[in-house]
Amino acid sequence: MIIVLTVGLLLTIFNTAISIGVSVRIPLTQSNVTVAGSVGKKEKAPDALPSYVHGKLGGNQNFINGSQTLTIWVAEGTAIFVLGQQEGAPLIDLHLEAR
């Protein structure tokens, strides 16, 4: 909550969002385990997440999908944990983005 309140509101002044995420393929399967989060302007925070979890925030199309969002005025913070098949996910990925 503190991060969304301070960093998120500060990033909205610059009309931006930042994200970080890590994804690793589970051996001998087509599935990945991904943990990612973003904070920034409400319209941009979900889009700053890695492309292979885009649209999975709050979804039910994977084995495990734990996601949270926190919105404070014009700022939003998101967090997602996905275990399952993710189209376009590499074997190992460290995702850093400012959008």
Sequential pLDDT tens for the chain (99 residues): 788 888 988 999 999 999 999 999 999 998 999 999 999 999 999 999 999 988 888 888 788 889 999 999 899 999 999 998 888 889 999 999 998
Q: How far apart are alpha carbons 33 and 74 in whole angstroms?
A: 30
| Block residue for tokens 């995702």 | 95
- Counting the structural domains of the chain, the total is 1
* Terminal C-alpha separation, the chain: 21
The string of DSSP letters for 43-57 reads TTTGGGS-GGGTT-T
pLDDT at 94: 95
Q: How far apart are alpha carbons 84 and 59 in whole angstroms?
A: 12
pLDDT at 38: 95
Range of the domain at 87: 2-98
